[in-house]
Chains A and B, each alone.
Chain A
Amino acid sequence: EDQVTQSPEALRLQEGESSSLNCSYTVSGLRGLFWYRQDPGKGPEFLFTLYSAGEEKEKERLKATLTKKESFLHITAPKPEDSATYLCAVKSGTASKLTFGTGTRLQVTL
């Protein structure tokens, strides 16, 4: 059974203070690793898909990387509007369902 573990559970940063979120996974035949952002009262918003070890994707202040066992979401010089819960999910084998981690709640303060 696929397993996804995210750390830390919560992270508080000052504006401009860069950091990384971790997503460790155990799957049989990774088909894709997905990062989402979820704001309170909203559904998850798709950010990135990563397919193979060594792959990197960037979007504004966010950069996602992938190894054979984990993925990192690097946040460079964050702003208060980056505050949200960041979710990691995997697809494996022939199934198209997503298995989610429990998320990292990020708070960026002035």
Chain B
Amino acid sequence: KAGVTQTPRYLIKTRGQQVTLSCSPISGHRSVSWYQQTPGQGLQFLFEYFSETQRNKGNFPGRFSGRQFSNSRSEMNVSTLELGDSALYLCASSLGVQGNQPQHFGDGTRLSIL
């Protein structure tokens, strides 16, 4: 069974640009969550989608947005990039939104801002 697929794996952008990251969940999984991982802050929750609806949002500025499509694939967008946005962006999927459902992660997109 294929795991969570994230594209691209690596991305280099400059300040002020915008970027779109893509995530394909495990087949049959309907919930997709996004996290930002940095050496200083660790893994921080960005947002979660289920059935094309955003259910939860973390403490990030409005420059960070996302969406989910009817096939459960998800994208996140970051506009007006800042140097501090350099991070590993991880997508995780789970069967549903129940508390005991484990989330399974992709290998992330490494975003570097110059």
Contact = CB atoms under 8 A, between A and B. Distances in A.
Interface of A: 31-32, 34, 36, 41-46, 49, 51, 87, 89, 91-92, 94-103
A32 B100 contact: yes
B90 A96 contact: no
Interface of B: 4, 6, 31, 33, 35, 42-45, 48, 55-56, 58, 90, 92, 94, 97-108
A43 B108 contact: yes
B33 A97 contact: yes
A44 B101 CA distance: 15
**Which of B56, B90, B105 has the most chain A CB within a 10 Å cutoff?**
B105
B42 A96 contact: no
A96 B31 contact: yes
A41 B42 CA distance: 14
A100 B90 CA distance: 13
Among all A-B residue pairs, the 6 with the closest Cβ atoms: A31-B99, A43-B105, A100-B43, A97-B45, A102-B42, A96-B97
5 contacts: A51-B100, A92-B99, A96-B99, A97-B45, A98-B43
Nearest to B3: A43
Given A43-B105, A87-B43, 8 more contacts: A42-B108, A43-B107, A94-B99, A96-B33, A96-B56, A98-B92, A100-B35, A100-B43
B48 A97 contact: yes
B27 to A, nearest CB: 17
Contacts of B44: 100
Contacts of B106: 43
B90 A44 contact: yes
Contacts of A100: 35, 42-44
Contacts of B104: 46
A98 B98 CA distance: 12
Given A101-B42, A102-B42, A96 B105 contact: no
A15 B51 CA distance: 46
A84 to B, nearest CB: 14
